Amino acid sequence: MRNKAVSIFIAFLAFCSLSLAWTNPIRKPSGSDPFIVHTGGYYYLLTTTWSDVEISRSTTVAGLKTATKKVVYSSITSSRCCNVWAPEVHYLGGKWYIYYTAGESASLDAQRLHVLTGGTSPWDDYTYTGQLTNEWSIDGSVIRFNDYENYLLFS
């Protein structure tokens, strides 16, 4: 019994040392709600702050940690200025689209899904396209069925 307890303790210590040695290769701090896509030889990382969506790119995942950030969305419109969450970028019909959640600064009750339209590269500029839902909705994603249609999923 004692040997079993010692073995478990040693395994626990080994596990702890592994977890302490590991370093997240993705940005920290200011890397909330990360979403990564790989295309055209680049990894693109989308993250959020309180009031914007940022994108950065690198040829390696490790390079994303120090890559230059580019703000692709920020707004002073009160209904979508703040509480920006969960960006995802998807290539649909020859363009890149960023789906994200945003709302008001005073409350989480106004969280809604929004979309930005980009160009043929995730690094292109984006324009605000619109609010997608009228009800409370967060964490949007697109699921594609090749022979059917695209579907927007959200909480």
The pLDDT, as a whole number, for residue 146 is 77
> Contact at 8 Å (CB) between 151 and 141?
no
Q: What is the pLDDT along the chain (155 residues), one digit of tens a residue?
A: 566 665 666 666 566 555 555 566 676 666 788 999 999 999 999 999 999 999 999 999 989 989 999 999 999 999 999 999 999 999 999 999 999 999 999 989 999 999 999 999 999 999 999 999 999 999 999 998 877 788 999 99
The pLDDT, as a whole number, for residue 12 is 60
- The domain limits of the chain are 26-153
Which CATH superfamily groups domain 26-153? Glycosyl hydrolase domain; family 43 (2.115.10.20)
Query: What global pTM score does this model have?
Result: 0.82
The pLDDT tens digits of the residues spanning 94-105 come to 999 999 999 999
Encoded tokens for 2: 């004692």
Beta strand pairing call for 127-131 and 141-144: unpaired
